[in-house]
Amino acid sequence: MLPRLAPDWTQGLFHSKTMNASRPHSARFHVIRGRILLGLGQHDRAIRDFRRAIRLDWRYERAVFWLDKASRTIPSAVETGSLT
């Protein structure tokens, strides 16, 4: 019997057990995943991925670009209507 596919495609992004633990992710991987997270509105997780990409390769300009973009697009309390 074939394994059942996850109903939510984003679940596959976060299952580290499916990845080879002995092989670290590349900076490019973290930038791509960060862009997906940013598109889903998960700004904090996206920023963590962009920072991880920079730690892996500090010369990777796309990581710096997307970290700056994500940092500028964090919704403020005024925009979200939050009182705290």
Domain-embedded: residue 18: no
Residue 30 lies in a domain: yes
Q: What is the pLDDT of residue 8?
A: 57
Residue 84 included in any domain: no
pTM for the full predicted model = 0.65
Its domain, for residue 67, covers 25-76
Residue 70 lies in a domain: yes
43-56 vs 61-72: helix crossing angle, rounded to 10? 160
14 inside domain: no
Summarised one tens digit per residue, pLDDT across range 28-47 is: 999 999 999 999 999 999 99
The maximal CA–CA distance of the chain, rounded, in angstroms, is 51
Query: Structurally, how many domains does the chain consist of?
Result: 1
Asked if 53 contacts 63 with a C-beta cutoff of 8 angstroms, the reply is yes
Domain assignment of residue 12, yes or no: no
